[in-house]
Structure 1
């Protein structure tokens, strides 16, 4: 049992929630690493209420030149990396974004940029849509609902209108239409306010709803919709704690555990790297400061990966109660539902 699986939340011990490892009945093992997800920092032009990174305009954390250089070395050194996934904060506004993009594309990796869309209208970043198109970046854009009221409540007044304009801009560049310009959207459910919890909506049906609404009202098209469960970390966890809902929510997620999701979990074939160069099994563990470990409890850094000459040093994925969020119902990942 990890420390995170044996602490008190909302005055209730998480021992009332079955430890995730016990639920599995075995270790959660790593597969060969093929995805490098890099969190470039926590600075962002938005401060969304559901943000698990707790990013915002006042955050200053971002990648250093030294770690940026190491990451570029990793990208060139390991052909097994197929995808470089850039996140933040707003990755487009953080140090290292363009150098890492260009190194990864030069090394023939697919590059994903996780965008809030509104960054395109900030001073100094108006070139980003054309830059993404030039380098054929896959854009995964946050649009937690196709209705304005829900989006603005979660992300701030005016965000919906700017997001719509950004999507129309991307469509004009060929995104969502040309095979090499992929535009995917991300749905997040509203944060629970009562114990009337529900699983994330069916991804296939919701994608149809999004496409119909956005096409009819704004002539917008996109490729795929990803439904992502709100995990009880970051600002979502703070909200749940204030409402005394954190433990009940964890127990709800546990009650909907689906063992069929395990083989598809994103933590199994990816490494998540923070702006300091520390290595985690996934972005969620990164935000909860639960580092990836070798045998003997040794933690990893990008520098150690380079020294070892291998990305496949981790045998077992570190787990915590919030892992039930990725395994409830149809599952959840940075690429949407797992089943």
Structure 2
């Protein structure tokens, strides 16, 4: 066991690379995840993006055009995954949806649901249905108190109404209109840490509760570990739990998750056009690099005419969050 210094905190942690039997490399890139910006109508306590109503950073017209060119140019991209902030609030959202659907890609929008009740966004459920957008919606618990603690007062009730609107236009019922929910554990307040519950069982619990109490249907539940990034990291540091939480994640490292990590087949793009191996590296300013050590941008991918410019994925201590227990990804548990 080596001591690794992380932000001036001495943590007895094995460097993540040393856990791997071989360097972590990319497979064929099939997912393009785009963070359109940090503008959001909510400011959730666990948000690793640190998004909120006061943030103004968002996609520019130039970067949006480059992204559309990227989507059109590379048939190996099967999924365009739009996130934020509230992606729907940021520049370029609808042009990217429509360009990706025109190119035959599946489009995912990571929605906070409450955005449908903000002036100017009431058409979103119908818009999503028209373009067969897959909606992945945050509902970190099926109990109101827990959701409101994490996401703000009244968010649970708004989320329930939004899910009912999505059901009304066919989501969760029509096979072409997929509605998935995301569970996040509550942020720890002491050293009694836990991983997300078993995904399949929790999905059944969610489905029974939401249907019996609100007549809501959905397709899949994704359990996602809170990685010590962004506001989650700040919370852990305030509670003096950051070091021990990292140690907890390392103690639950599961080597069988590595083959399925989301960073293996995706590129994460920020609103400035920079390229990262995953969304968490993006938030921690750890760019994807060429074999020559150059940071990647969309422009360099387009100039090279290839998505395969990364030899080795950039890793850090928080990667233990994706490999703990059953693993964690934007699509839920890995094994």
CA distance in 1, matches of 2:21, 2:303: 34
CA distance in 2, matches of 1:108, 1:21: 37
Q: TM-score, normalised by structure 1?
A: 0.97
Give the secondary-structure state (helix, strand or coil) at the position aligned to 1:28. Answer: coil
CA distance in 1, matches of 2:304, 2:93: 26
**Structure 2 residue 331 is matched with structure 1 residue 335:** yes
Q: Given the alignment, which residue of 78, 81, 86 partners 1:82?
A: 78
2:162 aligns with: 166
1:43 aligns with: 39
The 5-angstrom pairing of residues 150-299 of structure 1 reads 150-299=146-295
CA distance in 2, matches of 1:277, 1:18: 32
1:138 aligns with: 134
Structure 1 portions without partners, runs of 5+? none
Give the secondary-structure state (helix, strand or coil) at the position aligned to 2:37. Answer: coil
1:302 aligns with: 298
Q: Given the alignment, which residue of 13, 17, 36 partners 2:10?
A: 13
2:23 aligns with: 27
Give the secondary-structure state (helix, strand or coil) at the position aligned to 1:7. Answer: strand
Superposition deviation, residue 23 in structure 1: 1.1
The 5-angstrom pairing of residues 91-102 of structure 1 reads 91-102=87-98
Superposition deviation, residue 112 in structure 1: 0.1
CA distance in 2, matches of 1:230, 1:93: 24
Superposition deviation, residue 102 in structure 1: 0.3
1:250-278 deviation line (CA, Å, top 9, x unaligned):
00000000000000000000000000000
Superposition deviation, residue 6 in structure 1: 4.6
What is the root-mean-square deviation of aligned Cα atoms in Å? 0.9
Structure 2 portions without partners, runs of 5+? none
- Residues 1:161 and 1:114: Cα distance change in structure 2 (over 3 Å): same
CA distance in 2, matches of 1:202, 1:265: 18
CA distance in 2, matches of 1:116, 1:234: 17
Give the secondary-structure state (helix, strand or coil) at the position aligned to 2:181. Answer: strand
Superposition deviation, residue 25 in structure 1: 3.5
What count of residue pairs does the alignment treat as equivalent?
A: 333
CA distance in 2, matches of 1:282, 1:176: 28
CA distance in 1, matches of 2:260, 2:253: 14
* Shift >6 Å, 4+ stretches: none
1:112 aligns with: 108
Give the secondary-structure state (helix, strand or coil) at the position aligned to 1:253. Answer: helix
